[in-house]
Amino acid sequence: MSTLNRSFASDNFAGAHPSVIDALAEANVGHARAYGDDDISLEVYAAFEELFGAGTKSFFVFGGTGGNVAALSSLAGPGDCVVCTEWSHIHVDETAAPERAGLKLLVRPSLDGKLTPHDLQVAAHWLGSQHHAQPRIVSITQPTEVGTLYSIDEVKSLCATAHDLGMVVHMDGARIANATAALGGPEKLRSFTVDAGVDVLTFGGTKNGIVFGEVIVYLPQSGNPVVERAVRYAPWARKATTQLPSKGRFVAAQFRALLRDDLWVTLGAQANGAARDLYEAVRGIKALRLATPPAVNSLYPVVADAIAERLRETSFFWPWDPEEQRVRWMTSWDTTSADVAAFAAAVKTCME
Amino acid sequence: MSTLNRSFASDNFAGAHPSVIDALAEANVGHARAYGDDDISLEVYAAFEELFGAGTKSFFVFGGTGGNVAALSSLAGPGDCVVCTEWSHIHVDETAAPERAGLKLLVRPSLDGKLTPHDLQVAAHWLGSQHHAQPRIVSITQPTEVGTLYSIDEVKSLCATAHDLGMVVHMDGARIANATAALGGPEKLRSFTVDAGVDVLTFGGTKNGIVFGEVIVYLPQSGNPVVERAVRYAPWARKATTQLPSKGRFVAAQFRALLRDDLWVTLGAQANGAARDLYEAVRGIKALRLATPPAVNSLYPVVADAIAERLRETSFFWPWDPEEQRVRWMTSWDTTSADVAAFAAAVKTCME
Amino acid sequence: MSTLNRSFASDNFAGAHPSVIDALAEANVGHARAYGDDDISLEVYAAFEELFGAGTKSFFVFGGTGGNVAALSSLAGPGDCVVCTEWSHIHVDETAAPERAGLKLLVRPSLDGKLTPHDLQVAAHWLGSQHHAQPRIVSITQPTEVGTLYSIDEVKSLCATAHDLGMVVHMDGARIANATAALGGPEKLRSFTVDAGVDVLTFGGTKNGIVFGEVIVYLPQSGNPVVERAVRYAPWARKATTQLPSKGRFVAAQFRALLRDDLWVTLGAQANGAARDLYEAVRGIKALRLATPPAVNSLYPVVADAIAERLRETSFFWPWDPEEQRVRWMTSWDTTSADVAAFAAAVKTCME
Amino acid sequence: MSTLNRSFASDNFAGAHPSVIDALAEANVGHARAYGDDDISLEVYAAFEELFGAGTKSFFVFGGTGGNVAALSSLAGPGDCVVCTEWSHIHVDETAAPERAGLKLLVRPSLDGKLTPHDLQVAAHWLGSQHHAQPRIVSITQPTEVGTLYSIDEVKSLCATAHDLGMVVHMDGARIANATAALGGPEKLRSFTVDAGVDVLTFGGTKNGIVFGEVIVYLPQSGNPVVERAVRYAPWARKATTQLPSKGRFVAAQFRALLRDDLWVTLGAQANGAARDLYEAVRGIKALRLATPPAVNSLYPVVADAIAERLRETSFFWPWDPEEQRVRWMTSWDTTSADVAAFAAAVKTCME
């Protein structure tokens, strides 16, 4: 077996869309004010305001972990904690970066990677007592780290419960493009974010075909003082998290390219489609225990360690639940039908 | 007065060298392992080992503040503090990011932006007492934030004193290219870093013609256990600081371009030359109080606020010492003779 | 119903043993060196060395939360995390104090408040990957927060697994006196601590009849470099946690009183006995779902909210698991037979 | 030379006033609600409200460092910093505890230990820029760490400038009793605190004749939202700093004893008087360079190292400015005329 040109490890193994590289070259003319005060940045802030509504405030950051930590830092007071699932990136994959910023995570068990209103009610038992960190922030991931999607109603109902309990809601949208594509396209974006009650969003770029960069987006809220204070503090929360990009125009230029003609959703849809194709190609293999088609761009099959080792000769991929020998196969914006066919063939060979 | 295409605000107002953009495009082929495990990254780690000697360990980060915080975090134990000058970037320009990581700074007054062995001896009065943070780390900037350079002997003598006192030495090399060019070129690099006793270095890229990226470089040391422990912890210190670039190949590719044929030193020399030219062009204006030619790529003239406001119509620049109305004019790798002439002319007009 | 003189809320509702107050008065003569350098402190350090073996190092702190945070801080490097149960005091009852010190907790589900070797093996899946906080510290509580006890063999086996995996073991001994009494008295103390492989211990005083004060005890280890470094850093980790008592002699004097004639174990045994008596008095009430006699000084019966409210008129007590309506009844060193009888009577009245 | 019963090292070498020990014994009756919800605590909160005005909110803590860190934490947002002098306890003597809580200190040089409005104006140059930590909090110490006192007008003018600049003011009152005695007694207390514009105060006890304990006092303010938010967060800021005393009644009882008949001011006055006596006894020795009588209870003479070493055989004392060989001699509430005479005699003997 030979390794593939395009792997099924992660969407950050993929490179950048050609138009993104072009955008970098195009932005590379003369001097521009640093730190996001340049003309391209201003244009992109306006574009985000158009996407999410007047009053939206956007802040570029380098990466996803940094974007989450800066956003959560801006929201938290001393002794506050963040309700999230056991699968959440902030818990599993950020190497204690939130805690280094003083943020306690209140981790809830979850089979499908989603928080429920009940989770918030359980967390709320801690509210008001000085002996417990105060769960005043909720962080959800859309799509989740196990490849599921919150429906519009689920986000709505979670946000409503959160707000009733005096909590604010952060959405980790590292792969928000895949969610948007899956939920009906760009015109549905507001329905599961700002209109559903989300307060602040990390809008991902890196995993959707750019070189680097994410955006913290504070959604326009009706006077929630915690969010308003967070917006005021956002520039300092970002820099204190070491996440202020120096030459901001290059982050902006990439996002301008992504937003043009909804390229970001097109790329998300391509990745989703490739995952569905892979699912169709291997769903017959019972041992994989793939119950349902993927909601977005990843599958979580059961693959015994020895088999996984052989299959990694074709394409590296990450373990996901070592206890259950679940692994993750992930497609990217650039995954082709040929890639899917070749990988599916390798899976079949290895599983026989 | 019309504004310039290339400003004298900062070397991060400049764009990227064309070969760096080419390098990004060239690296954008197929998939590659993320997080610095790709082939280009491996090649660049080897290049740094060649630059600084066998045993050198390199870690890519997004930005300068993050590189400093991650490096210092890897060296510090509970209650340790970092000796630096009142001008140091970590103190003035990092928005408490070091402190958010628990790092206390022990700030020393300094006229020329340099620490002296005497500063360390004064700090050492605190050593051994549980009531005081322990100054076990020294951080110097080369070139300094006020445009001066440590001589080779100054670095040597500082490192010797630091090591005698049980301290380790970090060098913030955000503009190390300018220092290297000024001190005699690439073959002099080791003389004021590893050979002089520096333990860990932040090797800058952003301010020297790339899009983004810096490198934390642990220099090969003869068994200092604090540095050895820091190297072991470096990957986690980096990620906990939110500074692990996801698509590492793109950082690596930029540094590969910079290191090829010592482009980095060429660019540093160009910026230094432009600053010298600007100095020559305006040194006759007594009110600027420019006593000596610039050591690297910045001048710190006295410009009254009202004049500065008018001059900023030609090119934005930062205040540096508001108390004394000192400002900073900084050249970049791409500053041309025409830029210098036009800005010098504007200075003359405004100062008359 | 009238409220009791002595409640069943917590052992910190109790006052101090008379000999402890006498000890404070006795220590209050003339001046003494501050910060634990006085003669009484030196005597108590020696006493702890006798308790746990030569090479033991002791550090007084104000309180339990502070003692845990200071001890864990001294052990942790950047990006390290602490494996503990979902019931652990450091997770539930310390208001994010560990996280404010940068410590991530890796919380494991547990029915009986204990960690198992399997928990460590699961946590160990994270070891070595820069994307995950590194579980290099294990924290167990003896007795646990749900009133159970690790057997000597359980501690041994957990420590052996931890050490095999490169982890160190902290024991939160806020109620170590109750554990010691239950496991056979002072001569058994070493068997479930130093001899079982525990590396550092928080030795509780406040909950066992003193006014305030706990002791961080680093147990003598055979050359574990992580623990040796922690001992060196301990004074600074303590002060940086704001836990260095100024007038150390008064903490020392209280512990000298506790250690004299094993008073500490006597008091622990009294509290344990009272809990057993309460269990015997109410075990007949099925609805309480008290399956087994208490291992130490607390019971966790099921009491419906409405009933609990009425019963709190007799004695305040804390909810423990609001989901299951479990509450906690806790006895103290000074709980009398009359207290038990009166409270049991109130329980019966309310439950009918 | 024989050592003294009462040293001149620090007021924390002194023990507790007899009435404080009596108060502990008296409070040691039966059970009481923990964590400051007991009757004595409620009584003391009311006493502080009477001292400083309706709306005052008080929170007990274990120690001075912890009180400062908890108070400052409650006031700070991400990237905020605290303006203080180079002599401030939070900078010099707290082992990076503020920084461990994420608080950057912006340290100003000062000859007399005091901040001036000019210091705040200089710090204010940083306001508004995302590159700099934001100086939104001012911390002053009354009396200062070098034995000086802010006059009422100085505090007023500093607070007015601070508030004009959008900053809030914290006063470290570890020795507020000595300041109160020096400034005219208890009826003057409000004039240099609440009436002068101070927002939050750490009210010291340990150094004024108690066993342990300090109080964070939020002064009643006219609607400053930063202070109002801080009061709301205070319980969590305190616990997250590990400073919530478990058996609160014992802290409360000591403060009740101190406040009775203004004992606290009497004790402060005694210490001040002893320092004045010592000054009179040694002022003739020119080499000590004691220019002015002490404002409160400490002298800062110049004593050469060799002489200091011999004199420490009589009474230990701390170095204060090793550069200038200044040391600190400090009197306590219990320093007697005989102590002063004996120490002055030893000074004379050693200095000859």
> A4 pLDDT exceeds 80?
no
Residue type, B294: P
Alpha carbon of B168: minimum distance to chain D alpha carbons (Å): 18
Residues of A in contact with B66 (CB under 8 A): 62, 242-243
Q: Is the peptide bond before B245 cis (omega within 30 degrees of 0)?
A: no
Strand C80-85 and strand A80-85: the pairing is unpaired
Q: pLDDT tens digits for C9-62?
A: 999 999 999 999 999 999 999 999 999 999 999 999 999 999 999 999 999 999
Identify the closest residue of chain B to A69 by CA–CA distance. B242
Estimate to the nearest angstrom the gap between the alpha carbon of C130 and the chain centroid: 33
Contact C123, C135 (CB under 8 A): yes
Return the number of other C-beta atoms located less than 10 Å from residue D155's C-beta: 23
Taking an 8 Å cut-off on Cβ atoms, the answer to whether C233 and B74 are in contact is: no
Alpha carbon of C28: minimum distance to chain B alpha carbons (Å): 24
pLDDT of chain D, 352 residues: tens digit per residue: 445 678 999 999 999 999 999 999 999 999 999 999 999 999 999 999 999 999 999 999 999 999 999 999 999 999 999 999 999 999 999 999 999 999 999 999 999 999 999 999 999 999 999 999 999 999 999 999 999 999 999 999 999 999 999 999 999 999 999 999 999 999 999 999 999 999 999 999 999 999 999 999 999 987 899 999 999 999 999 999 999 999 999 999 999 999 999 999 999 999 999 999 999 999 999 999 998 999 999 999 999 999 999 999 999 999 998 888 999 999 999 999 999 999 999 999 998 8
Residue of C105, C121, C217, C216 whose CA lies nearest to C165: C121
**Residues recorded for chain D:** 352
Query: Both tokens of residue A27?
Result: 């932005």
Alpha carbon of B25: minimum distance to chain C alpha carbons (Å): 28
Taking an 8 Å cut-off on Cβ atoms, the answer to whether A21 and B28 are in contact is: yes
Taking an 8 Å cut-off on Cβ atoms, the answer to whether B34 and A9 are in contact is: yes
| Crossing angle (nearest 10°) for helices D18-27 and C18-27 | 170
Residues of D in contact with C65 (CB under 8 A): 239, 242, 244
Neighbouring chains of C at 3+ CB pairs under 8 Å are A, B, D
Closest CB from D69, D101, D239 relative to C95? D239
Contact C174, C89 (CB under 8 A): yes
Taking an 8 Å cut-off on Cβ atoms, the answer to whether A9 and B31 are in contact is: yes
Taking an 8 Å cut-off on Cβ atoms, the answer to whether B78 and C236 are in contact is: yes
Residues of C in contact with D239 (CB under 8 A): 65, 94-95, 97
Q: Is the peptide bond before D78 cis (omega within 30 degrees of 0)?
A: no
Q: Residue with structure tokens 């989300």?
A: A198
d(CA C12, CA C298): 13
d(CA B98, CA A43): 32
Taking an 8 Å cut-off on Cβ atoms, the answer to whether C15 and D30 are in contact is: yes
C-alpha to C-alpha distances, D232 to A284, B158, C51, D214, nearest whole angstrom: 58, 48, 44, 19
Residues of B in contact with C73 (CB under 8 A): 78
Q: Residue with structure tokens 């009245």?
A: C349
Mutation pick from B60, B127, B130, B231 vs chain C, by most beta carbons of C within 10 Å, is: B130
d(CA C295, CA C259): 23
Closest CB from A131, A233, A244 relative to D78? A233
d(CA B75, CA B238): 12
Taking an 8 Å cut-off on Cβ atoms, the answer to whether B92 and D125 are in contact is: no
d(CA A210, CA C23): 69
Alpha carbon of C53: minimum distance to chain D alpha carbons (Å): 29
d(CA B7, CA B278): 13
| Crossing angle (nearest 10°) for helices A337-351 and A263-282 | 30
Identify the closest residue of chain C to A81 by CA–CA distance. C96
d(CA B92, CA B103): 14
Residue type, D176: I
d(CA A161, CA A168): 10
d(CA B265, CA A311): 45
d(CA B145, CA B326): 13
d(CA A83, CA A122): 10
d(CA A28, CA A26): 5
d(CA D93, CA D143): 16
Residues of C in contact with A81 (CB under 8 A): 96, 99
d(CA A115, CA A118): 8
Taking an 8 Å cut-off on Cβ atoms, the answer to whether C100 and A100 are in contact is: no
Residues of B in contact with D76 (CB under 8 A): none
pLDDT at B2: 46
Neighbouring chains of A at 3+ CB pairs under 8 Å are B, C, D
> A5 pLDDT exceeds 80?
no
Taking an 8 Å cut-off on Cβ atoms, the answer to whether A133 and C78 are in contact is: no
In chain C, % of residues over pLDDT 70: 99
Alpha carbon of A186: minimum distance to chain C alpha carbons (Å): 32
Give B297-325 as a DSSP string: SEE--B--HHHHHHHTTT---EEEEGGGT
Chain D residues within 8 Å of chain B (Cβ atoms): 78-81, 92-96, 98-100, 102-105, 107, 109, 122, 125, 130-133, 319, 322-323
Taking an 8 Å cut-off on Cβ atoms, the answer to whether A316 and B64 are in contact is: no
> C208 pLDDT exceeds 50?
yes
| DSSP one-letter code for A193 | T
Query: Both tokens of residue D220?
Result: 């009643």
Count chain C–chain D contacts defined by CB atoms under 8 A.
168
Identify the closest residue of chain B to C233 by CA–CA distance. B78
The count of C-alpha atoms lying within 13 angstroms of the C-alpha of D36, restricted to the half-sphere facing its C-beta, is 21
| Choice between A322 and A133, residue whose per-residue pLDDT is larger | A133
Largest interatomic CA distance in chain B = 59
- Please report the beta strands in B181-256, taking only residues with DSSP state E, as ranges in sequence order: 200-204, 214-218
Strand A168-173 and strand A134-141: the pairing is parallel
> C136 pLDDT exceeds 60?
yes
Identify the closest residue of chain C to B246 by CA–CA distance. C131
Alpha carbon of B80: minimum distance to chain C alpha carbons (Å): 8
pLDDT of chain B, 352 residues: tens digit per residue: 445 678 999 999 999 999 999 999 999 999 999 999 999 999 999 999 999 999 999 999 999 999 999 999 999 999 999 999 999 999 999 999 999 999 999 999 999 999 999 999 999 999 999 999 999 999 999 999 999 999 999 999 999 999 999 999 999 999 999 999 999 999 999 999 999 999 999 999 999 999 999 999 999 987 899 999 999 999 999 999 999 999 999 999 999 999 999 999 999 999 999 999 999 999 999 999 998 999 999 999 999 999 999 999 999 999 998 888 999 999 999 999 999 999 999 999 998 8
Taking an 8 Å cut-off on Cβ atoms, the answer to whether B79 and C233 are in contact is: yes
Contact D215, C71 (CB under 8 A): no
Neighbouring chains of B at 3+ CB pairs under 8 Å are A, C, D
Q: pLDDT tens digits for A152-209?
A: 999 999 999 999 999 999 999 999 999 999 999 999 999 999 999 999 999 999 999 9
φ and ψ at residue D102, rounded to 5 degrees:
85, 5
Which residues lie closer than 8 Å to A190 by C-beta, 6 or more apart? A51, A52, A53
In chain C, % of residues over pLDDT 90: 95
pLDDT at D2: 46
Give D273-298 as a DSSP string: HHHHHHHHHHTT-GGG---S--SSSE
Closest CB from A125, A131, A323 relative to C322? A125
Q: Residue with structure tokens 């294990």?
A: C138
Residues of D in contact with B100 (CB under 8 A): 78, 102
Q: pLDDT tens digits for C59-74?
A: 999 999 999 999 999 9
Mutation pick from B65, B82, B100, B316 vs chain D, by most beta carbons of D within 10 Å, is: B100
- Please report the beta strands in chain A, taking only residues with DSSP state E, as ranges in sequence order: 57-61, 80-85, 104-108, 134-141, 168-173, 200-204, 214-218, 298-299, 318-321, 326-330
- Please report the beta strands in B157-196, taking only residues with DSSP state E, as ranges in sequence order: 168-173
Q: Is the model's pTM score more than 0.90?
A: yes
**Is the predicted ipTM greater than 0.90, yes or no?**
yes
Q: How far apart are the first and last CA of chain A?
A: 15
Taking an 8 Å cut-off on Cβ atoms, the answer to whether D28 and C15 are in contact is: yes
What is the spatial order of strands in the sheet that D134-141 belongs to? D57-61, D214-218, D200-204, D168-173, D134-141, D80-85, D104-108
Taking an 8 Å cut-off on Cβ atoms, the answer to whether B99 and D133 are in contact is: yes
Taking an 8 Å cut-off on Cβ atoms, the answer to whether B95 and D322 are in contact is: no
Identify the closest residue of chain C to D334 by CA–CA distance. C30
Closest CB from B9, B69, B250 relative to A211? B250
Return the number of other C-beta atoms located less than 10 Å from residue C160's C-beta: 14
d(CA A175, CA A297): 9
pLDDT at D222: 78
Residues of D in contact with B132 (CB under 8 A): 92-93, 95
Contact C53, B211 (CB under 8 A): no
- The continuous run of DSSP H or E covering C269 comes out as helix C263-282
